[in-house]
């Protein structure tokens, strides 16, 4: 007997049964079964609608405490949150079919410590597809999202950039090759005092032929960091100071909260000009010890007086000492790591970007740098605070290191429920 034939016999038997028990039981149980099935379907559709509405509420709350949102007053931002939610969430979506938004409310508050809190709540309903037969035409949906900006944090960032002749090195292999071809074999854009148009130095040749030097990369990376600060969360208050070092510590910009002022002074950073001959010009230990006296103790960032402190120290790690009996009138050594101890003891986050000396075919390199090559990185890493040592072999590495340092200092708004 086939399945179809069996089914027919079963239905026929059910139809002629005069006992009535089967029919009564079937009628009694049919409605609860259908109701349960309809409840599952309608609940699933309502839950999908809730997820969509909740994601819109989350986005509205986070937007209110973003850097852009923080530029608005609390009352204006409340209006903007509700307007954005109503305009965005009803957009055509299968998840919001048969959904009616009944009420949307926003509340934005600011605490004395600079923290802004934004809350958006909503009430909606979805027309049921199956439960209407059970007398339940609607499923109510409600939810809320709350977000807070980071507590206002005060951060002071100092740059200590090497502007000695070694930073005249071509920024890339292509720059070095081009400079060598233009200067007759030197990959450094040395800036010599007294050069002229008729007798240009390597620095002038590099500038006239669009050769980028490492000093250009350092300057641009610092300016780019300043640009990033202008878009940082409004809960962060930055100040900046700019120093360079060569034979001495040079102040380009005292600590300022004006990004425009810091950028204008940073644009002036350039390679040190030196006599045509003489001792080297990277007195690194002296520079680190000198700047330590100019940076107050770091704090927890809760106020301007207790600001967090970051020092971005960029160096090739080779320093000079006068020695008339040595090659070119001077001798070299690596940084004395203990010179950095005073800064770290004051709570300064000391970030070290090591512009790696790549091997080159040069007598001065062979005499003054190559003997130190394996000791440079360990000395600089020992100088840096934990997690803030960045070897950089090319221009993109230097820029990336600045970005990572800024990212560590900067924060972001967050959902709190």
How far is it, in rounded angstroms, from Cα 31 to Cα 87? 40
Task: Identify the CA nearest to 62 among candidates 81, 49, 75.
Answer: 81
Cα distance between the two ends of the chain: 62
Phi-psi region of 363 (alpha: psi -120 to 50; beta: other; left: phi over 0): alpha
- Class of domain 153-415 (CATH, top level): alpha beta
Both tokens assigned to 49: 């609608």
Residue 3's pLDDT is 43
Instruction: Write down the pLDDT at residue 78.
Output: 94
> Closest Cα to residue 326, out of 368, 281, 372, 283?
368
C-alpha neighbours within 13 Å on the C-beta side of residue 371: 8
pLDDT score recorded for residue 235: 67
Q: Which pLDDT belongs to residue 11?
A: 46
Q: Which residues contact 62 (CB under 8 A, 6 or more apart)?
A: 147, 413, 414, 415
Residue 275: predicted pLDDT = 75
| Residues of the chain scoring pLDDT < 70 | 1-38, 67, 91-95, 112-114, 133, 150-151, 233-235, 276-280, 323-329, 411-417
Residues in Cβ contact with 39 at an 8 Å cutoff, skipping those fewer than 6 apart: 130, 131
| Residue ranges of domains in the chain | 21-148, 153-415
The pLDDT score that the predictor gives to residue 194 is 75
pLDDT at 280: 61
């Amino acid at each position: 007997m086939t399945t179809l034939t069996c089914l027919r016999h079963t239905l026929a038997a059910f139809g002629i049964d005069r006992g009535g028990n089967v029919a009564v039981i079937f009628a009694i149980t049919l409605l609860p079964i259908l109701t349960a099935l309809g409840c599952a379907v309608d609940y699933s559709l309502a839950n999908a609608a809730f997820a969509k509405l909740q994601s819109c509420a989350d986005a509205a709350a986070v937007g209110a405490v973003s850097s852009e949102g923080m530029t608005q007053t609390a009352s204006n931002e409340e209006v903007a949150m509700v307007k954005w939610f109503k305009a965005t969430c009803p957009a055509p979506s299968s998840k919001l079919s048969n959904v009616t938004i009944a009420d949307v409310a926003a509340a934005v508050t600011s605490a004395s410590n600079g923290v802004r809190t934004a809350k958006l709540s909503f009430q909606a309903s979805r027309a049921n597809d199956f439960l209407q037969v059970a007398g339940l035409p609607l499923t109510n949906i409600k939810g809320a999202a709350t977000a807070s900006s980071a507590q206002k944090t005060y951060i002071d960032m100092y740059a200590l950039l090497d502007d000695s002749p070694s930073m005249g090195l071509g920024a890339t292999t292509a720059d070095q090759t081009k400079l060598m071809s233009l200067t007759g074999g030197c990959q450094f854009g040395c800036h010599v005092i007294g050069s002229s148009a008729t007798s240009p130095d390597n620095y002038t040749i590099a500038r006239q032929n669009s050769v980028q030097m490492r000093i250009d990369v350092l300057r641009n990376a610092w300016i780019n960091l300043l640009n990033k600060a202008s878009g940082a969360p409004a809960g962060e208050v930055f100040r900046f100071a700019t120093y360079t070092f060569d034979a001495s510590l040079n102040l380009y910009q005292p600590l300022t909260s004006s990004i425009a002022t810091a950028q204008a002074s940073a644009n002036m950073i350039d390679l040190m000009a030196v006599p045509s001959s003489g001792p080297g010009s990277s007195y690194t230990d002296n520079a680190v010890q000198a700047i330590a006296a100019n940076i107050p103790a770091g704090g927890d960032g809760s106020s301007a007086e207790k600001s967090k402190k970051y020092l971005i120290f960029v160096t090739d790690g080779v320093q000079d000492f006068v020695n008339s009996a040595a090659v070119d009138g001077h001798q070299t050594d690596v940084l004395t790591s203990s010179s950095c101890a005073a800064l770290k003891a004051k709570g300064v986050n000391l970030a070290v970007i090591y512009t790696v000396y790549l091997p080159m075919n040069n007598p001065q390199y062979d005499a003054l740098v190559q003997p130190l090559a394996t000791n440079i990185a360990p000395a600089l890493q020992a100088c840096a605070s934990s997690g803030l040592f960045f070897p950089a072999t090319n221009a993109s590495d230097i820029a990336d290191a600045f970005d990572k340092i800024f990212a560590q200092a900067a924060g972001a708004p967050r959902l709190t429920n």
